[in-house]
Structure 1
Amino acid sequence: MGTEVAVIVGAGPGLSAALARRLARDGFRLALVARNVDKLAELVASLSKQTTVLPLAADAADAGQIEDAFARAEGALGTPDLVVFNAAQRHRGPIEDLDPEAVLAAYRTGAFAGFLTAQAAARRMLRRGAGTLLFTGATASVKAMPQSTPFAMAKFALRGLAQGLARELGPRGIHVAHLIVDGGIASSWARPGDAGAPDRWLDPDAIAAAYLTLHRQHRSAWTAEMDLRPWVETF
C-alpha cells in the first residue's frame, strides 16, 4: 500500500490528537493545520518518533492560507489520501445579546472553513481519482439547543456541505462522510472523580478508530454519515 498521507485541519489536543496518534500507528505521514501550532509542540514531538509530522500554521477560514497549507503539505508529504476537517468555534448566548461579528466568525470557522478545506483537498484528490474527506459534526448538526444557535448554524451547514460533496465527489472516486459526535468527548469533558456509568463520555481513541474504519471502507459500501454516542445515552 505504501505510506499514506493525512491532513487534519483544526488540529488540537483532543480528538485531533487521538486521531493523529492512531494514524501514526498505521504509518500515515501527517500534516497538522492549526491557527496556533505552538499548542501542538508536545504532540508533534511525540509523533515524530513514529512518522513524519508537519505542523502548519493557517487560518482555515482564509482561502489563501488554507490553499498554501495544502500546497506545503503536498510538496513535503505528497497528495493527501485522507483529509479531516475538525475545526469549530463555539459562541453562546441569548439571541438578543449575540454579537453579529462573533456569530459570523463562528460560522466562518465551523462551516466556510470546511468548504475551503474541501476545495483544496478535492483539487488534489481528483487528480488521482481517490481519497477520503471526513467532516466532524456534533449533536448540533441535527438538533439545535437554546442559546447555542451560532454553533448549530455552522454545524447544520457543514452537514449540508458533506451531503452535497458525497453526491458530487463519490462517483469521481472521493469518499466523503460526515460524523455526528453525539455527546461529550472525554478529553474535553471528563474530570477526575466524575461520577456516572462507565463510558459516560466518548473515548477519543474509539472515535479515531471509527474515522480510520471509514477511510478503509470498500467503495462498494461507503458510509455517507455515521453517528457516535456513548452506549449509556438514550436518543
Structure 2
Amino acid sequence: MTIKKPLAIVAGAGTGLGQSLCASVEQDGYQVVGLGRTAPSNPIGQFHALDLADMNAAPTKLTSIINDYGPPKIVIHNTAELVIAPLADTTLDDFSRTWTSMVQSAFILAQTTLPQMEKAGGGTFIVSGATASLRGGAKFAAFASAKFALRGLTQSLAREYQLRGIHVCHVILDGIIDTAKSRDQHSLDPSKMMRPEDIAQAYLQLVHQPQSTWTHELDLRPASEGF
C-alpha cells in the first residue's frame, strides 16, 4: 500500500528562496506543491502557475490541491512585490499591487488552508517578512506599508490559531538573499548575503519546534549585517 506523503504548500516558489524552501521540505519527507506566477526551470515537486491574489482562481486551485493531496501540514507564504520609488513617483497601481500580491494573497492563502489544517490536527504556517516589516525607509512607502500589514495579519492569525494546534510564524529576512539576480544588482561579497538554502533550513527548524517552545517571530540576517 502506498502511503501518502504529507502536503507542503509553498506560495511564491520561484527561483531562489522559493525553490530552496521546496527542496528542504521535500527532503524532509513532504509532497511539495509550489505556487507562483511564473514557473522556475526544473521546479522541485509539483508547480502550479497561479496569481495568488486572484480572489476567484486562487481559492479554487488551493481547494483542488487539498482535495488531491489532503490538508497541508506546512504552508509557506513567500510572495513579494518590491516597489522602490519616491512617493511622488509611486502610482496608485504600484501601491495597490504591493498590497494585493503580499497581503491579499496571504489572506486568501490563510483563509483557504488554515481551517483545513485545523480539521486535520494542526500544522505550521510561515510568512516571509523583511526589514521593511519593522522599519519604513525612504522610497519604500508601498513596500513597507504592505509588509507592516502582512506582519499584523500574521500576528492576528497566530493568536487565533495557536490554541487550535497551528504554529503561525513570521520570519524577518534582514539582508539581501544570494541569487543570480541579486548578484547582478548589488556589488556585495556573497559571504555577506543570505544563502537561500540556509534560510530554508531555519524555516524547517520552525516546523519541528515542539508546542512547548513555539517561536512566533524570528529574525534572520548575515553575521556581517548591522542592526
TM range (shorter): over 0.9
Extract unaligned runs of 5+ from structure 1.
Answer: 48-52
* Inter-partner Cα distance in structure 2 for 1:192 and 1:173: 41
* Residue 103 (1) aligns with residue 61 (2): no
Provide the secondary structure at the position in 2 that maps to 1:82: strand
Deviations 1:32-53 (A, max 9, x none): 11123xx32412xxx3xxxxx3
Q: Which residue of 2 is the match for residue 202 of structure 1?
A: 194
TM-score by length of 1: 0.89
Extract unaligned runs of 5+ from structure 2.
Answer: none
Q: 2:123 aligns with which of 122, 131, 134?
A: 131
Q: Which residue of 2 is the match for residue 22 of structure 1?
A: 24
Deviations 1:7-53 (A, max 9, x none): 011210010111111112112101111123xx32412xxx3xxxxx3
Q: 1:86 aligns with which of 50, 64, 78?
A: 78
* Inter-partner Cα distance in structure 1 for 2:63 and 2:185: 42
Deviations 1:50-91 (A, max 9, x none): xxx322222111122221121121122221000000111112
Tell me: CA distance 1:11–1:192, structure 2 relative to 1, closer, same or farther (3 Å).
closer
* Inter-partner Cα distance in structure 2 for 1:195 and 1:135: 26
Provide the secondary structure at the position in 2 that maps to 1:177: strand
Q: Which residue of 1 is the match for residue 168 of structure 2?
A: 176
Contact persistence 1:57–1:69 (CA under 8 A): no
Q: 2:9 aligns with which of 7, 10, 14?
A: 7
Provide the secondary structure at the position in 2 that maps to 1:202: coil
Contact persistence 1:189–1:201 (CA under 8 A): no
Q: Cα distance, 1:96 vs. partner? A: 1.4
Tell me: CA distance 1:192–1:68, structure 2 relative to 1, closer, same or farther (3 Å).
closer
Instruction: Say how many residue pairs are matched.
Output: 224
* Inter-partner Cα distance in structure 2 for 1:112 and 1:195: 33
Tell me: CA distance 1:180–1:41, structure 2 relative to 1, closer, same or farther (3 Å).
same
